[in-house]
Amino acid sequence: MAAVKLKDFLRRHEAKDLLRFITCGSVDDGKSTLIGRLLHDTHQILEDTLASVTSDSRKWGTTGDLVDLALLVDGLQAEREQGITIDVAYRYFDTELRKYIIADCPGHEQYTRNMATGASTVDLAVILVDAARGVQVQTRRHAYIVSLLGIRHVVVAVNKMDLVEYDERVFKAIHEECVALIGRLGVPDVRVVPVSALKGHNVVTRGEGMPWYKGQTLLELLDSIDISRDQDLADLRLPVQYVNRPDARFRGYAGTIAAGELAVGDPVLAVPSRRMSRIKSIVTFEGDLQRAAAPMAVTVTLEDEIDISRGDLIVHPDRSPSVSRSIDAHLIWMSDAPLLPGKQYEFKISHRYLRGTVERIHHRVDVNDLSEHAADELKLNEVGLCRIVLAEQAAFDTYATCRTTGALIVVDRLSHATAGAGMILTSAAPQGVQHDVSVFWQPTRVTHGQRANQKAQHPCILWFTGLSGAGKSTIANATEQALFLRGHHSYLLDGDNIRHGLNKDLDFSDAGRVENIRRIGEIAKLFVDAGLIVVTAFISPFRSDRRLVRDLVGADEFVEVFISTPIEVCEKRDVKGLYAKAREGKIRNFTGVSSPYEAPEAPEIEIDSSKFLVAECVDRVIRYLEAQGRLKN
């Protein structure tokens, strides 16, 4: 009998709808306390856990004689010491109608990136407002991020009503301000409820503090909000997460259906390759199916052997997504190092990683008044609309259409850390140009190898880097002369010369330096394709920029020459007095003084010019090239 009851209970629990939501808002609005109250009043806390929290309340609590329910969520010692939430905390509970996953998000501005991470997978946001303080800057920031992330349901919980003597006029003023703010952001469903999380009024039960409020409690709102119609896209979207090839007889494409449905025999299109086939079978853990729909995890096999890789999309042929190399997207920047246009990043779209750059920042958004401002960079926690240019074609939808295929992640190529999160607004391909097919690399009849053989050399870039005064230009000049006298074909790109012409529009800010190196890298790549040995002399202070050029031409055609002369020697050689002016503050962004220099970690050649004559430095470079077989007889 007990086993039957358990089976019935598990069946009912499995059939319940799941709602994911976050609590967010400004610091000390009571987010953790509200979640603790929800767990406590729905009887989700075990007795020993409650006893432990009661004991901890005497040490860490901030609620006097009352149990500090926030300690149920704030588990980190640093959180308890400071009385704030630092990282996203997830909690789980259920009612008779629904199962819930709650993400308690930090309120501090410096942890906005944690909030954006927690909000990226939820269906609803509970934004708390302290009734005594009203709407804060961080409240507006979180509301804006919630709208960017496509969350369609927002419940504003006006908390700490007990601190304002449950004044109805205070609630109405905050109600009007929040509805106007969030409505202007385009969120279609906004509810407002007055609560006291500390006393438990209007959270799960009504309490006696606010007889003038006739609406639903917070839990009643959560139980009743309909999220079944939130996925508007009916078109098939199956991102390929894994190509399943256990043996020569089976090739399946595994993934979770993001939108729409598919059936055996349906015609399908693989994008971005645009190869067509039909569904042969739909394989799942429970067995083969004739039909499957979102959000099921499936493996599909096709009637034809076509090239499909991880990150590709399987769609219906007449309802395909956008395919382009250029994308306009809202980016939330999450890195301490600012976003710089021209710097190369990895962009993860669906399950595919693509190299690319932010070509330009259209504008930065001021979350206080939603005004738009020109910007050369995005700093930590800032939001901007950006033009992204990828190295390859990518398939995607707008974020408003489908979250899974309309979201992207920006990854720093050096640290591999997540640097930003993006919501795709639209394809940035020129109007009237379908799938961005107007620009392709055109192959020439004379090949790269033929040009190299004609010149009796293996082309490469000799990238001289080091501080100002290290001797880069002198050694690079002498190296090109030595190559010329030996009958080899080379060209010298010098930093000062380039800034007189091609790059005269660039300043010496971090963003200007990044774009300077990017342009030089593109020129050097063309010269290498022409069969030349390209000699460059640039400070190029950032490792990421030098890696960008290495990736452009390939590691086998990039030779990093680090002129590691100490800065003290460089200053003594400085006939122009640049170091002295920089130390006096007369020159801004001077490398080695007011701007950092990131020395190469593993250069192919390292030379301290203070220890060798110029001819000896050149000889070391030439001998390296000979040893590598780059200079043919």
Q: Which residues are catalytic, by number? A: 540
Residue 33 C-alpha from the chain's centroid: 30
Q: What share of the chain is helix, strand, coil (3-state, %, to 5)?
A: 30, 30, 40
Euclidean distance between CA atoms 603 and 471, whole angstroms: 17
Characterize 258-270 residue by residue with b for buried, 16 or more Cβ atoms within 10 angstroms of its Cβ, and e for exposed.
Answer: bbbbbebebebbb
Return the closest-CA partner of residue 155 out of 210, 89, 220.
Answer: 220
Partnered with residue 242 across adjacent β-strands are 254
Euclidean distance between CA atoms 416 and 346, whole angstroms: 9
Residue 500 one-letter amino acid: H
**For residue 102, is it left (φ>0), alpha (ψ between -120 and 50) or beta?**
beta
Please tell me the number of Cα atoms within 13 Å of 299 on its side-chain side: 15
**For residue 125, is it left (φ>0), alpha (ψ between -120 and 50) or beta?**
beta
Return the closest-CA partner of residue 631 out of 623, 88, 372, 558.
Answer: 623
Secondary structure element (H or E) that encloses residue 523, with its range:
helix 510-529
Coil/strand/helix, residue 499: helix
- Measured in degrees and rounded to the nearest 5, phi and psi for residue 330 equal -80, 130
Cβ-contact 276, 317 below 8 angstroms: yes
Euclidean distance between CA atoms 620 and 462, whole angstroms: 13
Characterize 480-506 residue by residue with b for buried, 16 or more Cβ atoms within 10 angstroms of its Cβ, and e for exposed.
Answer: bebbeeeebbbebbbbeebbeeebeeb
Within 408-504, where are the H helices?
448-454, 472-485, 495-500
- Measured in degrees and rounded to the nearest 5, phi and psi for residue 433 equal -105, 110
Cβ-contact 258, 237 below 8 angstroms: yes
Written as one string, the DSSP assignment of 539-551 is: ----HHHHHHHHH
Euclidean distance between CA atoms 495 and 485, whole angstroms: 23
Euclidean distance between CA atoms 570 and 464, whole angstroms: 15
Q: Token pair of 602, please?
A: 């593993």
Tell me the C-alpha to C-alpha distance, in Å, between residue 33 and each of 29, 58, 122, 236, 521.
9, 16, 20, 42, 54
